[in-house]
Structure 1
Amino acid sequence: MIEKHNVSSYNRSSSKKFNFIKSIALVLLSSIALYSIHFNCLETPSEITLLKLAECPDAEIYRPKSYDSNKDVLYKIINDETFRNKSVVKMQNAVRIDTSSYDDLPIDVSKNLEKFQHFNVFHKQLREDFPLLHQTLELHMVNHFGLVYIWKGSDESLQPLLLMGHQDVVPINEDSLDQWDHPPFSADYDGKYLYGRGSGDCKNLVIGNMEGVEELIKVGFKPRRTVILSYGFDEEITGIRNKNAEFIESIYGKKSIYAVMDEGGVSLSQVGDSTMAIVGTGEKGYLDLSLAIQKKGGHSSIPQDHTAIGMMGDLIVQIENDKYPTYFTQYNPTFYQYVCYAENAVDIDEHLKHDILYSQVDELSNLNVRNYINSDRVTSYAIKTTQALDMIQGGVKVNALPEFVELKINSRVALEENITIAYDKFVKDAKVIADKYDLGLYVQFPYSNDTIEFKPPTDVGILTVKPINILEPSPVTTAHNSKWQLFAGTTRHVYEEIAYPEKYIDQGKRVIVTPGLGTGNTDTKLYWNLTDTIYRYRPGVLPSVLAGSHGINEYIEYDGHLQIIAFTFEYIQSVDESDD
């Protein structure tokens, strides 16, 4: 563990003069953006004493009391070739069944059962591959194709543990088939990797949960705390047909679940010499919106100076140049991700470490950290609202002026903001263009069916702004309680003592388990009523976003799948030993 700064002697009243001088220095330095320049002008980090407002929610290794008696089972899961090969067959069976969800699937499932028959094929395969699970757990079919398995515990006073995933996968673009090294539903396995659509998102989680449960049944485990497995069938198309959470709530009530674990987070990530497991404890909000320009058409031989497409192009430039602000606050679990890295990494730059640890009391340090995170596209999404201009359509003929042009945008809303704040930014951008080209401006706001006339229609045309889909940022799961200690501690236990015991035999090496921000909106949004504790995490080796999920050549490293089984096996037992 890196030695922490000594802050016990900090005194607010005795430091007023220092703070005054420091504030002047900050004003003089505020225009300096580069890291190295900043620290050439200030004292070294060890010479500055400030109050830290947060520390890493660290966790000691946690293993269930039954660990010693089940070591052979865990060794078999991770190392036995026979077990591995049998597991591979189950994964192959799952991946080879095409359970694609298409955007045009009907909402009313009952009246369109034939559209969802591929899930019946999947369910039949699950019954064949997991007979013990289906003999032991109660299966409830929810809205025809949702799966809810209930493993009743002996103590009804304990809140159930809920493990979840989804059965459906993203469809294959037929035009990309020649770019797949392995056919998307072949489930080819080469001894290290298993290939195919859904292998990483997220049939490996569904199958891994079931394999872990069956291993528990085989050793005679009988839960004290009820365990629920819940698998929806339309996660990839917003989950609007998923009624599993409503069904569970009808049985157990609101805020009745001990914790939920779903896909998400970052499995294992190598940051320099540090290995991190980042558990999603929050998700950004979701906003789809439409901006449309209606304008008189005509023959393209006598065009206006600015067609509807030209105006929309200007609006696009306005939107993309008008960036959302960045944040680095304790409300966002990303903050603790970087604090944990700063406190535990052995190879972190000392200046960066200082800025992270003192970011909440030093404005310049906060700015430096935000610039550091925002400089990388992969990490920048976590500290700001994003905007992706994804769809545009307009015009019907090359020699006819367009009369209608529509732009659709997807925005993921920062936890420090909300849908209204994010939406207002697009309204502001639209107003700039409406004023510039003398367009009328109509705006429909979220949570309202009314359309507001910001500017009346003109002879030029009308610009309209309206929401399509909205979801507020999620509640944030705390990482400062015993539930987190157990989850993070079990994660360390599985990686350090079961999966890689030789790698972590050195006391100085460890896996840093931290809170983080979920990379996408999952079915967990349907479960907010059931619990305040949601962990978006899929154990394993590779983050799914780096293994082709939703893209070409999706695959998993099979060691990671075995780690899901081991984690399920251990986590259920660990939670079963704890009291509410």
Structure 2
Amino acid sequence: MSKEKQDLLLLAPPAPRTSQRTFNLKSLFLFLLLSAITLRCVPLNLAARYDHETTFASSCPQVDALVPQRGADVLANISDLLATSTFKTKAVSWLAGAVQIPTEVFDGMPAVEEDERWEVFAPFHDYLSDAFPLVHTMLDLTKVNTYGLLYEWKGSDKSLKPILLAAHQDVVPVEPETEDQWTHPPFSGHYDGEYIWGRGSSDDKSGLIGIMIAIETLLEQGFAPTRTVVLAYGFDEEASGLQGASALGAAMRDRYGEDDDPFAFIVDEGGGFTDRYGTVFATPGVAEKGYLDVHLEVTSPGGHSSVPPAHTTIGMLSRIVVEYEDNPYKVELSRDSIPYALVQCHAAHGATMPKKLKHLVRRSRRSNEALNKLRDVLIEDNQFKSLISTTQAVDIVHGGVKSNALPEQAYALVNHRIATTSSVHETMVHDTALLAKLAAQYNLSYTAFGDTLLRGGSRTLTLKDAYGRSLEPAPVSPIAGKGSEAYQLLSGTIKATHAAHRGLDLASKAGQITVVPGMKTGNTDTRYYWDLSRNIFRYNHKNTIGSGERLPGVHTVNEAVSADSLLEMIRFFTTLILNADESRHI
């Protein structure tokens, strides 16, 4: 890899289905050609969606730190508390206690009333009630679908839009065979003097507990909000939120949805801050990729394995899987995308980015040649490549039941995370076209997403939305110009929190943080909250500087979060609530 590439590496509703029809091979390719043309002609509103972003990317302006005025004394008192060992010990204990209650969820769990595994959340609710008595005395709590938690801290001015702070109670399961690989047991909540260890300590009980501590402490200080604060805690985010956030979203639409866009902003789990090119960058997520699980199924008549056909269902499925992996989605870097804005901001504010590389980034604004060169450099980093492109991962495969019986069916599941400049429909059309030649080669009857495209022999190939929960790329939250007031407030809060936690002078630029738009490769519970606010931010102010060895612990062994990060998250949520309470611009 060239030095230039090394320097620039960055870690950074489906269309209506047509009716059933039967095609011969010639008609199939005509259909695919027309589909491709249609996709070019159908307006996806992408230009409008990203219009505000393009201006931002050209200069990446920054706002000043935002410190509450009316709540200055309250914030000062809480800041003094955060500096004490007594409060630190209490905060660590709060999170450790939450980690010690296993709240694992699994894929494919049935409805709450049909599976006793959901009952793990009852003791967690009891724990929250005991740990945060003021929250449970002063806030109204509604339990949605039994285990979803919806708190309302009523403000005195009903004309102000409420804010929504979200988190999730559940954690990914711990594989039993990995338990001996943990430095400390996965549900111990062990504190070693620096880190709190255990499943959920980072994802996402630190966010949930950080919010609860902030509000409990504000209540202890006698603070009464002017603007209503709503808390929504789902319980199956790690299994796509079908039982938790989905029900919470519906409940909030019923309660607050008289007007469009009922919340001033929403903050859920997401980005943090880290050092990049000699500058500390915070990256609140303002977009999310789309999602589609494709179920591939091959069938053929069974029989005795002593008289096999040339290709069994498993053999044909294997060839189809190879076709996928040999033909990944084309990677394009779009100027109308959040990852491109992130690159522009790194160039604008990265103190140690080499001048030649900065020049390439800036030249890419107008030169397609430079843009393609920049893309080729950036995609050397698989993390960034996954941000800008539609990805595909073959995650599940199954076929056969006995060694002497021909498998009558074999299937695989391909998970797609859809680029923000694409769509579910475009992804379906791509996959359909990809496998057309193989379907014809094996004389398979070919049905893709409800359309029968080929009539072959007795063998079949079927593509379908595996779980019926495909997701379009999320609307992008405004980050510049009119309508971006919430992003500016969030940015100012991030800057104030970062400076206060380190004792930095707000008047000096030394050591200050730069706020830039970001996005993750995965999805959050906010997929169910799109119609609740135009301003959705995936951010919980987690410090990842120098903690790279901890990051792999998310969803795997040795998950941990530092006590100092927890304290800074508490400061962030406290400052955010106070800033939002006195703002009249959101």
Give TM class, smaller chain.
0.7 to 0.9
2:249 is the counterpart of 1:245: yes
2:480 is the counterpart of 1:486: no
* TM-aligned CA distance change 1:547 to 1:494, over 3 Å: farther
Kindly provide the amino acid, as one letter, of the partner of residue 472 in structure 1: E
1:12-411 correspondence runs (5 A)? 54-66=58-70, 68-70=72-74, 72-107=76-111, 109=112, 111-112=113-114, 114-242=116-244, 243-253=247-257, 254-265=260-271, 267-411=272-416
User: Are the counterparts in 2 of residues 294 and 462 from structure 1 also a CA contact under 8 Å?
Assistant: yes
* TM-aligned CA distance change 1:512 to 1:140, over 3 Å: same
* TM-aligned CA distance change 1:538 to 1:174, over 3 Å: same
Following TM superposition, by how much is the alpha carbon of 1:565 offset from its aligned partner in structure 2, in angstroms?
0.5
Following TM superposition, by how much is the alpha carbon of 1:356 offset from its aligned partner in structure 2, in angstroms?
2.2
Distance 1:516 1:537 in 2: 10
Q: What secondary structure sits across from 2:179 in the alignment? A: helix
* TM-aligned CA distance change 1:368 to 1:74, over 3 Å: farther
Deviates more, 1:347-356 or 1:138-147: 347-356
Q: Which runs of 5+ in 1 are unaligned?
A: 1-32, 38-50, 445-450
* TM-aligned CA distance change 1:399 to 1:76, over 3 Å: farther
Q: What secondary structure sits across from 1:106 in the alignment? A: coil
Kindly provide the amino acid, as one letter, of the partner of residue 126 in structure 2: K
User: Are the counterparts in 1 of residues 56 and 341 from structure 2 also a CA contact under 8 Å?
Assistant: no
User: Are the counterparts in 1 of residues 419 and 473 from structure 2 also a CA contact under 8 Å?
Assistant: yes
Alignment-derived partner of residue 457 in structure 1? 456
1:413-492 correspondence runs (5 A)? 413-444=418-449, 451-459=450-458, 461-468=459-466, 469-480=469-480, 481-492=484-495
Alignment-derived partner of residue 9 in structure 2? none
Deviates more, 1:291-300 or 1:500-509: 500-509
Alignment-derived partner of residue 529 in structure 1? 531
Deviates more, 1:119-128 or 1:501-510: 501-510
Kindly provide the amino acid, as one letter, of the partner of residue 388 in structure 1: A
Deviates more, 1:511-520 or 1:379-388: 511-520
User: Are the counterparts in 2 of residues 52 and 358 from structure 1 also a CA contact under 8 Å?
Assistant: no
* TM-aligned CA distance change 1:53 to 1:561, over 3 Å: closer
Distance 1:330 1:229 in 2: 35
Following TM superposition, by how much is the alpha carbon of 1:466 offset from its aligned partner in structure 2, in angstroms?
0.8
Following TM superposition, by how much is the alpha carbon of 1:221 offset from its aligned partner in structure 2, in angstroms?
1.5
Q: What secondary structure sits across from 1:262 in the alignment? A: strand
Following TM superposition, by how much is the alpha carbon of 1:436 offset from its aligned partner in structure 2, in angstroms?
2.5
Percent of aligned pairs sharing the same letter = 35
Q: Which runs of 5+ in 2 are unaligned?
A: 6-54
**RMSD (Å), alpha carbons:** 2.3
User: Are the counterparts in 1 of residues 281 and 514 from structure 2 also a CA contact under 8 Å?
Assistant: yes
Q: What secondary structure sits across from 1:573 in the alignment? A: helix
Following TM superposition, by how much is the alpha carbon of 1:52 offset from its aligned partner in structure 2, in angstroms?
10
Kindly provide the amino acid, as one letter, of the partner of residue 476 in structure 1: V
* TM-aligned CA distance change 1:192 to 1:454, over 3 Å: same
User: Are the counterparts in 2 of residues 339 and 357 from structure 1 also a CA contact under 8 Å?
Assistant: yes
Q: What secondary structure sits across from 2:329 in the alignment? A: coil
Distance 1:181 1:509 in 2: 33
Q: What secondary structure sits across from 1:87 in the alignment? A: helix
Kindly provide the amino acid, as one letter, of the partner of residue 64 in structure 2: E
User: Are the counterparts in 2 of residues 168 and 235 from structure 1 also a CA contact under 8 Å?
Assistant: yes
Q: What secondary structure sits across from 1:184 in the alignment? A: coil
Following TM superposition, by how much is the alpha carbon of 1:304 offset from its aligned partner in structure 2, in angstroms?
2.7
* TM-aligned CA distance change 1:36 to 1:574, over 3 Å: closer
Distance 1:513 1:330 in 2: 19
Can you list the C-alpha shifts for 1:482-538, whole angstroms capped at 9, x where unaligned? 21111011101111x222235999634321211111332111011111111000012
Alignment-derived partner of residue 22 in structure 1? none
* TM-aligned CA distance change 1:52 to 1:87, over 3 Å: closer
Q: What secondary structure sits across from 2:58 in the alignment? A: coil
User: Are the counterparts in 1 of residues 161 and 227 from structure 2 also a CA contact under 8 Å?
Assistant: yes
Q: What secondary structure sits across from 1:416 in the alignment? A: coil
User: Are the counterparts in 1 of residues 496 and 506 from structure 2 also a CA contact under 8 Å?
Assistant: no
Distance 1:272 1:78 in 2: 30
Can you list the C-alpha shifts for 1:215-263, whole angstroms capped at 9, x where unaligned? 2112222111101111011111111112112212212214110000000
Distance 1:223 1:67 in 2: 10
Distance 2:505 2:560 in 1: 25
* TM-aligned CA distance change 1:271 to 1:429, over 3 Å: same
Deviates more, 1:221-230 or 1:503-512: 503-512
Deviates more, 1:322-331 or 1:241-250: 322-331
Kindly provide the amino acid, as one letter, of the partner of residue 259 in structure 1: F
Following TM superposition, by how much is the alpha carbon of 1:309 offset from its aligned partner in structure 2, in angstroms?
1.9
Can you list the C-alpha shifts for 1:449-480, whole angstroms capped at 9, x where unaligned? xx322110315x21111112301110000111
Alignment-derived partner of residue 565 in structure 1? 570
Distance 1:510 1:368 in 2: 32
Can you list the C-alpha shifts for 1:392-440, whole angstroms capped at 9, x where unaligned? 0111122333221101011000110000111212111221211232222
Following TM superposition, by how much is the alpha carbon of 1:324 offset from its aligned partner in structure 2, in angstroms?
1.3
Distance 1:348 1:196 in 2: 36
User: Are the counterparts in 2 of residues 295 and 404 from structure 1 also a CA contact under 8 Å?
Assistant: yes
* TM-aligned CA distance change 1:560 to 1:504, over 3 Å: farther
User: Are the counterparts in 2 of residues 387 and 410 from structure 1 also a CA contact under 8 Å?
Assistant: yes
* TM-aligned CA distance change 1:229 to 1:250, over 3 Å: same
Kindly provide the amino acid, as one letter, of the partner of residue 102 in structure 1: F
Q: Using structure 2 for the length normalisation, give the TM-score.
A: 0.85
User: Are the counterparts in 2 of residues 78 and 559 from structure 1 also a CA contact under 8 Å?
Assistant: no
Q: What secondary structure sits across from 1:147 in the alignment? A: strand
User: Are the counterparts in 1 of residues 417 and 521 from structure 2 also a CA contact under 8 Å?
Assistant: no
User: Are the counterparts in 1 of residues 342 and 517 from structure 2 also a CA contact under 8 Å?
Assistant: yes
User: Are the counterparts in 2 of residues 77 and 565 from structure 1 also a CA contact under 8 Å?
Assistant: no
Distance 1:276 1:389 in 2: 34
Alignment-derived partner of residue 518 in structure 1? 520
Can you list the C-alpha shifts for 1:110-169, whole angstroms capped at 9, x where unaligned? x33744222111111111111111111111111221111111111111000110101111
Kindly provide the amino acid, as one letter, of the partner of residue 495 in structure 2: R
Alignment-derived partner of residue 38 in structure 2? none
Distance 2:405 2:342 in 1: 54
* TM-aligned CA distance change 1:332 to 1:399, over 3 Å: same
Distance 1:337 1:259 in 2: 22
